[in-house]
Amino acid sequence: MLRFALSRIVMAIPTLLIVAVSVFVLIRLIPGDPAQLLLGDLATPASIADLRARLGLDKTWFEQFAIWFGHVLQGDLGMSITSGQSVAGLVFERFLVSAQIVLAAVLLASLVAVPAGMIAAWKQNRWPDLVLVGTATLLVSIPTFWLGLLLLLFLGLELHWLPVVGYVSIADDWKAGLLYLAMPILTLFLHEIGVLIRMARASALEVLRLDYVTHARAKGLSERTVLMNHVFRNAFGPTWTLIGLVLGNLLGGIAVVETVFTIPGLGRLLVDAIFARDYPVIQGCLLFVAAVYVLVNLVIDLFYPLFDPRVAAE
């Protein structure tokens, strides 16, 4: 088990390295002088020369990368062109906002979708299954930004239950904060339920066909016991992996939900930065999100043996 954990952790390192290289190369691919780009409108010949020296732009790409990566490892992601703030600080601050929404939505969705998927598999082709699968397929087909708009229209403008725009940090005022977060979380929650139910159902169906489930029944165990002790754990593995993927995808795709509800999150930061050509921020966001995604999947992988001990064996 220890060897398994170590090998997974070590395998993540080259991935992170290549991610860093990719981001570095991506930004360098943008036509124009990097120092000019990074300084934007604030550029003066003196500051450009200064930045060029600092970044070592006359050195080889390897050396430039080393210098840049060195800064990154110390937590220095540069300065935002538009706001002058530290990119690292900005990214982290916004990340916390987005993370609240994503984590809450995925957690709630898992709690609902996993049992629902298993029930659907158990009652395959009978009405609970058909209803659940139909609902899931519908939910998966509705784009999150449209769903958000609809919720906004209905719950916000029509019924006035929830505030329509803005954001209040939970740290400041948790009641108001929750109200503002409710709709974005609800939007993502509904979408992810669709995704997770389908996977939970599919893997439960696979497990239900296996001999050890019939064997459990042959021992005289009740259906409920069979489902909980034998089916659930073994069927959960693929869904668990999917949850990791979903978390990552939401970190990327949350930009649209943040736009609809005007939430100052990480996605919005990236999009605004793209419009403003704020390359340090673009760089920082890409690097940060990709790194978080790799780490999240690493954690997911490390817990996988809980559901399938065979994985840790070799």
| Contact indicator for 193, 111 with CB cutoff of 8 Å | no
Which residue of 70, 89, 166, 309 would you call a contact of other proteins, by CB under 8 A? 309
Is residue 57 within the footprint of other proteins (CB under 8 A)? no
Is residue 290 within the footprint of other proteins (CB under 8 A)? yes
Closer residue to other proteins (CB): 14 or 45: 14
CA atoms within 13 A on the CB side of 3: 4
- 212 Cβ partners below 8 Å, 6+ apart? 230
Q: How far apart are CA 81 and CA 85, in angstroms?
A: 8
The tokens of 105 are what?
């939505």
Is residue 293 within the footprint of other proteins (CB under 8 A)? yes
Is residue 2 within the footprint of other proteins (CB under 8 A)? no
Using CB under 8 A, which residues numbered 71 to 100 contact other proteins?
Answer: none
Q: How far apart are CA 165 and CA 169, in angstroms?
A: 13
Task: Report the candidate in 85, 54, 80, 52 with the shortest Cα–Cα distance to residue 67.
Answer: 54
Q: Give the range of 25-33, 72-80, 87-95, 178-186 binding other proteins by CB under 8 A.
A: 25-33
Is residue 159 within the footprint of other proteins (CB under 8 A)? no
Least separation, in Å, of the C-beta of 49 and other proteins?
A: 25
Is residue 193 within the footprint of other proteins (CB under 8 A)? no
Q: How far apart are CA 129 and CA 111, in angstroms?
A: 18
3-class SS at 221?
Answer: coil
Task: Report the candidate in 188, 198, 181 with the shortest Cα–Cα distance to residue 109.
Answer: 188
Is residue 123 within the footprint of other proteins (CB under 8 A)? no
Least separation, in Å, of the C-beta of 46 and other proteins?
A: 27
Which residue of 1, 30, 66, 299 would you call a contact of other proteins, by CB under 8 A? 30
Is residue 152 within the footprint of other proteins (CB under 8 A)? yes
Using CB under 8 A, which residues numbered 229 to 258 contact other proteins?
Answer: 229-230, 233-234, 248-253, 255-256
Is residue 120 within the footprint of other proteins (CB under 8 A)? no
H or E, element range at 73 = helix 61-73
Closer residue to other proteins (CB): 73 or 157: 157
The tokens of 34 are what?
């990097």
Is residue 32 within the footprint of other proteins (CB under 8 A)? no
Q: Give the range of 38-46, 75-83, 166-174, 227-235 binding other proteins by CB under 8 A.
A: 227-235
Least separation, in Å, of the C-beta of 235 and other proteins?
A: 10
Q: How far is CA 75 from CA 70, 88, 149, 264, in A?
A: 9, 7, 37, 22
